[in-house]
Structure 1
Amino acid sequence: MSSQTATPPTYSSPVPPPPPPSGAEALLHPSSPSPFLDEKRHPGEAHLHNPHTPSSEGANAQYGFFTPVVSAIARIHSLRKELGLPNPGTVEHLQREVKATHLTNHFFDGARADLTKVFSTNPVFQVTHAFSFPIAPNPAGYNFGAVVGDERHFLQGGVDDSGAVTMRFNRGWGAGHTSKAQAQLVRGPGSFVQLEHDYQGSDHSANVKALNPGLTDGTGIFMVNYIQSLTRNFALGIETVVQRPSPEVEEASTGYHAKYVSNNHDWIATASMQGVGILQATYWQKLAERIDVAADLILVAVGQKREATATLGAKWDFRMSTLRGQIDSTGKISSLFEQRLAPTFSFTVGGEIDHLKSTSRFGVGFNIESGGEGMDPTQPPPAPPSLPL
């Protein structure tokens, strides 16, 4: 019996299984190159940085001595962007809702008639003939005005029967920048020129203004203000006014502003303190869809003068009319009613009684609008552009 030598079996070295998929491959297009480094083909290079990520050495070489400042500004900007704070509006329009509710800026006495001719809606082009017949001894007056505007330009001009000319021009530059100019030319004292620039960022607003600036001697009135949202509801602002009636005389004052808006934007509270000793506090609330109420308190403490005035008003918006009512601490009770009888015709009547002085005022007016020859009155007008106001 022949013996045979048994040959030991050979075993191949086990091959490690591939790593489980991470899920990132599903996000890539089949023909796209992999952004992950293949350690088999490039051993020892897995520790390299992403070439698209700037290194600290590159930042130091680019900004040099200002690298810490630039880095701090970048971190602050990133943090503000993550917070998602809203724009607080401007300091000039801090009490916009209160002024729209009260009738102080809408009331007039005597008789008034406004005739408006709309030639175009987009871009805006219209002219207005305004006739006013105030109570004696004030004389009657006439004013001709024109408005032209589009998304980047806004121009408004007017001239009255006394020869006074007014002008207003706004230019929007994009990204929240708007330059403004106003002027008034009258016979005798009262003419002025005002230049300003507005900037509205994502969570802040700034404004620089110059009234009658003297280019040679530096005279005039100069104002700068800034308001910043600190939370989604609260904003703080500061305003500085420098008056230079002559090169030898200069006065400066600083004021502070605060604004709080509710989460649903159904009530707004503001407070302003001027450096000359004036404190103003306002409150506005939307009670219903078409009912607004507003309160305004002004405290004056300048020298030996101590005064306080409180005003409470309400506004009701109906389908074709608006009613405003107002009462203040000086004893004045006033109301204003505007009725739109047709899409192009409105009638306004208002009255005011001062119980302490035993005086009264009354006003009535109407407004007529007409379209251009190319506009169809049966069709709704096109949407107007967003004017740089």
Structure 2
Amino acid sequence: MSTPHAASSEKPGVSALHDHAHPSSPFTDFFTNLVHPVAAPLASTFERFHNFKEYYGLVQPGTVEGLTRDVSTTLMSNVFFEGARADLSKVISPNPAFQITHSFQLGQKSNYSVNTIFANASTFLMGQWEPSTGGVNVRANQTWSPSDITKVQAQLSSSPGQTMCQFEHDHIGPHYSLNLKTINPSIADGNGLYFVSLLHSLSSRLALGFETIIQRSSPTEIIPATSYLLKYTSSPDAATKALSLLPPSTPGAAAPQAPFTPSWAATAQLQPSGNIQATYFHKLSDKVDVAVDLQTMFQPASFMGPAKRDALASFGAKYEFRAATFRAQVDSAGKVGMLLEQRFTPAFVFLVGGEIDHAKNSSRFGVGVMIESSTMTPEEMVAAGMIPPQ
């Protein structure tokens, strides 16, 4: 039969260790009593807010930069070119990826450039040089973690006002995306362009956000402008919902860092000028995508000209065949166009496109080739996934 004295003396070292690890003093007691009334309600509120978000199955909404990316890759106007074009690529290494590309373009604006790309699991480096103009473009992306990416972009040109440098950082949270960016910042006086954007999920289908641009041209002149963003998508799939509804203490219950892929998505942007851009993207099948883009153009009367109220709607579709990609587009201004990318072999792609403007009674056409060679053997290319096995 144990006595209270015996029970308290079974593990005397534990009590001594506890007292040593958490020493008590009048100062620590005073600090704890001072901070606890303020910190405890804040911690409790944050925990309730976190549990609220987990209960409603919020998902990662993607970034503000990628808000209309699906629409941009579907519409032809973002990849169409005029004249003749040839891209000759040389793959030096698949992993890490190292590639050199020579690009030739003939038309109203003839140009030649050489591009170099290096990429591995966490780093992306790209450089471009145009001998005719002497322009140099560089870009570097560094992934520090699944949640943080730093991007640097610079453009050097002999033309006045064309030199630019840009620093950017993306923080991807479980239910939000935060982006900080600056263009041509001045260390001496702080002049430059500064961007802050945030996109946060309010439900499993709705996300709201904003993008604020601050233009600082002098210490006394600061011009802010804010755009408001909306994204509404189809419901997440069953796997994403099950993962988001797990209790936070369950292993693997953390919300996925990558945004889920909806079958359709609608976005809207209210710009500071009052203009509105609305888009709609729908993946009809694994091989067919359609997209709609609506942009309003409101311009008040000024010394530049009379008031203007106009809108432009574009509708496009993209078809993915086994060895080809076909895009077609029509807009409310009377333009109709198409672009075909036909892959005859894994190393040879033929491009042909055209656009007819019925309102202006004009047309544009473009043809091109993309040729890719490699220093690797066919067996190495199959192992790297560059060509299908025979």
TM-score, with length taken from structure 2: 0.79
Q: Does 1:268 align with 2:284?
A: no
CA contact (8 A) 1:233 1:261 kept: yes
Superposition deviation, residue 120 in structure 1: 1.6
| Structure 1 residues 61 and 127: CA distance shift in structure 2, 3 A | farther
Aligned to 2:208: 236
Distance 2:206 2:85 in 1: 41
Q: Percent identity at matched positions?
A: 41
Give the counterpart of 1:155 among 120, 125, 130.
Answer: 125
Q: Does 1:173 align with 2:144?
A: yes
Aligned residue identity for 2:186: G
Query: Residue by residue, what CA displacement relative to the aligned partner does 1:218-245 show, whole Å, maximum 9, x if unpaired?
Result: 1111110001111111111111111123
Q: Does 1:186 align with 2:157?
A: yes
| Structure 1 residues 345 and 61: CA distance shift in structure 2, 3 A | farther
Query: Residue by residue, what CA displacement relative to the aligned partner does 1:345-378 show, whole Å, maximum 9, x if unpaired?
Result: 1000000111111111100000011122466366
Of structures 1 and 2, the larger Rg is shown by: 1
Aligned residue identity for 2:276: L
Aligned to 2:23: none
Aligned to 1:347: 350
Aligned to 1:364: 367
Query: Residue by residue, what CA displacement relative to the aligned partner does 1:44-78 show, whole Å, maximum 9, x if unpaired?
Result: xxxxxxx9xxxxx9995695343322332233223
Q: Does 1:145 align with 2:115?
A: yes
Distance 2:228 2:357 in 1: 33
Distance 2:208 2:278 in 1: 14
Secondary structure of the corresponding residue to residue 184 of structure 1: strand
Aligned to 2:79: 106
Query: Residue by residue, what CA displacement relative to the aligned partner does 1:244-302 show, whole Å, maximum 9, x if unpaired?
Result: 23334321111111111112622111111111222010111122331111111001223
Q: Does 1:247 align with 2:219?
A: yes
User: What RMSD in Å do the two structures reach over aligned CA positions?
Assistant: 2.4
Runs of at least 4 residues off by over 3 Å: 57-65, 81-84, 373-378
Query: Residue by residue, what CA displacement relative to the aligned partner does 1:307-335 show, whole Å, maximum 9, x if unpaired?
Result: 21000111111100011000111111111
Secondary structure of the corresponding residue to residue 77 of structure 2: coil
The answer to which of 201-210 and 303-312 deviates more is 303-312
Distance 1:250 1:242 in 2: 7
CA contact (8 A) 1:60 1:67 kept: no
Question: Greater share of helix residues, 1 or 2?
Answer: 2
The answer to which of 196-205 and 260-269 deviates more is 260-269
Secondary structure of the corresponding residue to residue 113 of structure 1: strand
Alignment map for 1:368-383 (pairs within 5 Å): 368-373=371-376, 376=379, 379-382=382-385
| Structure 1 residues 266 and 330: CA distance shift in structure 2, 3 A | same
Aligned to 1:213: 185
Aligned to 1:320: 323
Aligned to 1:73: 46
Distance 1:59 1:320 in 2: 70
Q: Does 1:118 align with 2:91?
A: yes
Q: Does 1:203 align with 2:170?
A: no
Aligned residue identity for 2:93: S
Distance 2:294 2:178 in 1: 26
